[in-house]
């Protein structure tokens, strides 16, 4: 079969699975997350040869080692072309705000958020895998805002897939909620759960750990706990870095993150040979990640609603993948730390391990007052409107420069993860202007909502899924 990449669980229960098995499983049966058993590596020469590739061709080059033999190169290219065709002429535009400082616009997909890059690819790969096996599946996910709309948009109207998205009741923006609840397709279900995002995510994980329920429903995941959801996000790191001088120049990326998936994709790009000198982690007032990078202690607190609701998270699920790596793939240690975190609400890593990751990562907290100010200053100084999540990433850049952690001499790319029109109230509060929505979004906002309001009860949600899924 060749020397193809296999995947194993961070907790040791599942080992040497194929791409296809990981795609359909989502979460490992032991509750862990899948990671590749080895990393492909691109040389300086490889990176130079990538500079002139289109986005779809670059994606094919980067994704191919992880996907073969499930798909051949032509199949991957065709999926990439179909996935990124709705994004317009330039899939991931770079906007230069000043010398060596760029905004990477990741909001040109169907739902105006960076989740579209992965979800459009995942839905096609998933559907193809099910068709090959003549199977059906139930997809279950939790969202703090953008994942849900991107998933429902990508997976709606698929004959062999039922999708259920849990979102925290009253804790996503009006636009984010409407992008989920206007969809009225058979097999597509939005559930408004009376809890916060971490509560929704916990229910999803409990459903996967209930192996009887998982097997009864052929359950799979589309959150970034699914390896294949995370993988396409690596591409835009390569794409943007190559356009600002890589591989000859090192690049800094700043990423607003709550669940640690998007910035982990940057870490993966570094592992694969992209010359990234620093990854800046921007947190809102729910700053569990910033506190960890400062102290080595991951400690859960109560979620505080903010102007950047997609980051209102105190359980950064994807961090387990980085933990697995810094623990030298010691699955027993990962399992213990994850158990401690679930039961006690905290775990700690040694100072040596913290120093190791802080050679690459820096983390900064940006509160709501600062977020409003960053949106205002960015508009006044650059005539550019950024959404509140993107403002946190850009504000983290300013703090990193102020503390001399990074230099203006290095290209700095700050990720803009959502269109400002998705958060009109916050933008108006900051600069007195309501950002213009697309015609498509305006149409969505006039549609009737379709969702189920439900209590945060595992048994009730499992029963609803079993009753509602198509047999």
Q: Which residues are catalytic?
A: 115
Contacts by residues 15-21 (CB-CB < 8 Å, ≥ 24 positions apart): 18/70, 19/66, 19/67, 19/68, 19/70, 19/228, 20/70, 20/129
Question: Which of 125, 127, 193 minimizes the C-alpha distance to 162?
Answer: 127
Which residues contact residue 364 at a Cβ distance below 8 angstroms, ignoring those fewer than 6 apart?
280, 281, 282, 283, 290, 395, 396, 399, 400
Both tokens assigned to 237: 């790191």
Question: Which of 373, 398, 424, 432 minimizes the C-alpha distance to 112?
Answer: 424
How far is Cα 308 from Cα 285, in angstroms, rounded to an integer? 9
Residue count of the chain: 471
Both tokens assigned to 26: 């989502």
How far is Cα 417 from Cα 392, in angstroms, rounded to an integer? 10
Instruction: Answer yes or no: are the C-beta atoms of 225 and 146 closer than 8 Å.
Output: no
User: Tokens 């997976």, residue?
Assistant: 155
Instruction: Answer yes or no: are the C-beta atoms of 185 and 175 closer than 8 Å.
Output: no
Which residues contact residue 357 at a Cβ distance below 8 angstroms, ignoring those fewer than 6 apart?
293, 322, 326
């Amino acid at each position: 079969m060749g020397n193809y990449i296999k995947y194993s669980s961070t907790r040791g229960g599942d080992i040497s699975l194929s791409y296809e098995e990981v795609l359909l499983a989502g979460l490992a049966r032991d509750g862990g997350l899948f990671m590749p058993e080895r990393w492909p590596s691109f040389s300086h020469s490889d990176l130079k040869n990538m500079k002139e590739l289109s986005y779809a061709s670059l994606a094919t080059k980067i994704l191919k080692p992880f996907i073969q033999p499930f798909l051949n190169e032509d199949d991957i290219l065709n999926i990439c072309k179909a996935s990124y065709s709705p994004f317009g002429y330039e899939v991931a535009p770079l906007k230069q705000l000043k010398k060596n400082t760029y905004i990477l616009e990741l909001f040109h997909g169907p739902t105006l958020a960076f989740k579209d890059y992965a979800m459009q690819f995942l839905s096609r790969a998933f559907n193809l895998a099910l068709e090959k096996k003549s199977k059906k599946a139930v997809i279950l996910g939790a969202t703090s805002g953008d994942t849900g709309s991107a998933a429902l948009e990508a997976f709606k109207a698929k004959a062999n897939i039922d999708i259920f998205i849990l979102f925290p009741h009253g804790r996503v923006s009006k636009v984010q909620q409407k992008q989920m609840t206007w969809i009225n397709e058979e097999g597509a279900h939005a559930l408004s759960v009376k809890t916060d995002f971490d509560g929704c995510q916990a229910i999803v994980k409990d459903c996967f750990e209930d192996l009887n329920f998982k097997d009864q429903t052929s359950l799979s995941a589309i959150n970034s706990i699914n390896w294949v959801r995370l993988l396409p996000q690596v591409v835009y790191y390569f794409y943007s870095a190559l356009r600002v001088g890589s591989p000859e120049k090192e690049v800094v990326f700043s990423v607003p993150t709550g669940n640690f998936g998007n910035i982990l994709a940057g870490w993966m790009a570094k592992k694969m040979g992209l010359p990234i000198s620093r990854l800046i982690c921007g947190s809102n007032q729910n700053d569990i990640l910033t506190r960890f990078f400062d102290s080595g202690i991951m400690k859960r607190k109560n979620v505080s609603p903010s102007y950047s609701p997609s980051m209102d998270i105190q359980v950064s699920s994807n961090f387990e993948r980085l933990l697995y790596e810094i623990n030298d793939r010691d699955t027993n240690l990962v399992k213990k730390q994850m158990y401690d975190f679930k039961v006690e609400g905290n775990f700690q890593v040694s100072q040596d391990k913290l120093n190791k990751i802080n050679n690459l990562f820096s983390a900064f907290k940006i509160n709501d007052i600062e977020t409003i100010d960053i949106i205002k200053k960015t508009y006044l100084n650059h005539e550019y409107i950024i959404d509140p999540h993107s403002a946190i990433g850009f504000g983290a850049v300013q703090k990193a420069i102020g503390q001399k952690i990074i230099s203006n001499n290095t290209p700095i790319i700050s990720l803009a993860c959502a269109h400002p029109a998705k958060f009109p109230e916050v933008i108006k509060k900051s600069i007195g202007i309501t950002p213009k929505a697309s015609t498509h979004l305006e149409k969505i906002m006039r549609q009737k909502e379709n969702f189920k309001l439900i209590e945060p009860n595992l048994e009730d949600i499992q029963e609803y899924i079993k009753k509602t899924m198509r047999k």
